[in-house]
């Protein structure tokens, strides 16, 4: 160990999914959208004015904030943007979870929550999902320093009842409740209508899934102005210019095409429902998913072995070697054609297993 390491922070970072590249790969491992973004996004990138790249971007990202406010019918001072919902969440943890009381989140959820808590030394308690991987509302009515809930939850795909979410928000006026809605556009109810009623609610969403812009890194949060002001102050204490010009321009442009967005989500949901039927037919079980992935297990196939087998067939899914979920695979919904190939390969594998 070097002498200076005594003053260095020791952390165990989050491990993102693999990013394999190559022809013929079916990439169902990081919940990307199989369809391209709205053509307006690409056009905006190609049309960035030549003389602007040398200039700092607008630190308020006004064009993007304004487009989001328009889309969701909010005021501009109710919108915060960041480099993917990951940056929005990381800065929100830093801004709102500054307590000696532990923050609360489920034992099975987005695996970045404990990483951020550890990075910022925020005490936390994880609360077990029930046997069907559902959140138990009552668990979140205890004293705490903050709450973060993914809805739909990851990697399970389950959506909570909005009445339960509202109960949690209402019962915790002295805590900020972050509802992480990365997957909400694929069929779950959003907590956005509750923003008017609760000053302690922050709703976080992303352009990475439903808007097919994972490569652009755009996420956002919506909350009442005081919440957004405090989050912005933390952002301006971290990096004045988090959003580069391409992200601001292409992100704002993508929002203009509401019909394209709705159609893309509809296609993903249709294929998800088809995939559910097929997986059931093959003997898989899974929580009912409202996301662009299915979290599936099979009584006769070990998830880890199936994960490795699928890779040999150029199909990448996600496996988490963690308690309670180490016999599950998280399978992103790709195109209909990709899912047909997947089902075909799964069918072959299961028939091999039975021999």
Binding map of a second copy across residues 277-316, x = CB under 8 A, - = no contact? ----------------------------------------
Total residues belonging to the chain: 355
Q: Does 205 bind a second copy (CB under 8 A)?
A: no
d(CA 222, CA 264): 23
Q: Does 320 bind a second copy (CB under 8 A)?
A: no
**Site for a second copy (CB under 8 A): which residue of 99, 257, 335, 336?**
99
The Cα-based distances of 187 to 129, 214, 262, 324, 330 in angstroms read: 21, 20, 11, 26, 18
The Cα-based distances of 190 to 72, 82, 168, 219 in angstroms read: 11, 20, 15, 16
Q: Are 48 and 245 in contact (CB under 8 A)?
A: yes
Q: Does 225 bind a second copy (CB under 8 A)?
A: no
**Footprint of a second copy on 129-188 (CB under 8 A):** 145-146, 173-176
Phi-psi region of 133 (alpha: psi -120 to 50; beta: other; left: phi over 0): left
Smallest distance from the beta carbon of 317 to a second copy, in angstroms? 15
Which are the contacts of 30, defined by CB distance < 8 A and separation ≥ 6?
16, 17, 18, 19, 214, 318, 332
Q: Does 238 bind a second copy (CB under 8 A)?
A: yes
Q: Does 352 bind a second copy (CB under 8 A)?
A: no
Name the segment binding a second copy (CB under 8 A); options: 132-140, 179-187, 224-232, 345-353.
224-232
Query: Which two three-digit tokens encode residue 177?
Result: 């409740």
**Site for a second copy (CB under 8 A): which residue of 26, 28, 83, 306?**
83
Nearer to a second copy, 153 or 210 (CB): 210
**Site for a second copy (CB under 8 A): which residue of 71, 72, 241, 349?**
241
Query: Which two three-digit tokens encode residue 247?
Result: 């992200």
Q: Does 262 bind a second copy (CB under 8 A)?
A: no
**Footprint of a second copy on 9-38 (CB under 8 A):** 9-16, 19, 27, 30, 32-37
**Site for a second copy (CB under 8 A): which residue of 48, 75, 280, 344?**
48
d(CA 173, CA 198): 8
Nearer to a second copy, 50 or 131 (CB): 50
**Site for a second copy (CB under 8 A): which residue of 54, 130, 131, 355?**
54
Q: Does 46 bind a second copy (CB under 8 A)?
A: yes
Which are the contacts of 78, defined by CB distance < 8 A and separation ≥ 6?
69, 195, 222, 223, 224, 225, 228
Query: Which two three-digit tokens encode residue 328?
Result: 């599950």
């Amino acid at each position: 160990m070097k002498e200076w390491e005594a003053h260095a922070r020791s952390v165990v970072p989050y491990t993102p999914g693999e990013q394999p590249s190559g022809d013929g790969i079916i990439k169902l491992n990081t919940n990307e959208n199989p369809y391209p973004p709205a053509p307006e996004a690409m056009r905006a990138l190609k049309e960035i004015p030549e003389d602007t790249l040398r200039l700092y971007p607008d630190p308020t990202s006004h064009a993007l904030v304004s487009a989001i406010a328009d889309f969701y019918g909010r005021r501009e001072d109710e919108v915060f943007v960041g480099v993917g919902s990951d940056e929005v969440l990381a800065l929100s943890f830093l801004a709102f979870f500054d307590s000696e009381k532990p923050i609360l989140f489920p034992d099975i959820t987005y695996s970045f929550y404990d990483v951020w808590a550890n990075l910022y030394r925020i005490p936390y308690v994880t609360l077990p999902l029930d046997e069907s991987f559902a959140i138990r509302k009552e668990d979140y009515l205890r004293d705490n320093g903050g709450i973060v809930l993914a809805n739909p939850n990851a990697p399970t795909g389950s959506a909570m009842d909005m009445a339960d979410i509202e109960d949690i928000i209402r019962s915790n006026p002295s805590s900020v409740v972050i509802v992480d809605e990365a997957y909400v556009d694929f069929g779950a109810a959003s907590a956005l209508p509750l923003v008017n009623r609760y000053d302690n609610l922050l709703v976080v969403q992303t352009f990475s899934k439903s808007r097919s812009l994972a490569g652009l890194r755009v996420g956002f949060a919506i909350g009442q102005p005081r919440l957004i002001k405090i989050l912005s102050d933390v952002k301006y204490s971290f990096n004045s210019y988090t959003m580069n010009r391409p992200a601001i321009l292409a992100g704002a442009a993508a929002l203009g095409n509401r019909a394209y967005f709705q159609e893309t989500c509809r296609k993903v949901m249709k294929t998800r429902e088809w995939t559910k039927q097929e997986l059931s037919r093959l003997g898989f079980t899974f929580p009912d998913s409202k996301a662009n992935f299915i979290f599936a297990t099979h009584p006769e196939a070990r998830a880890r072995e199936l994960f490795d087998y699928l890779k040999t067939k150029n199909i990448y899914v996600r496996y988490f070697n963690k308690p309670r979920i180490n016999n599950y695979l998280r399978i992103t919904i790709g195109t209909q054609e990709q899912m047909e190939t997947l089902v075909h390969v799964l069918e072959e594998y299961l028939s091999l297993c039975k021999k």
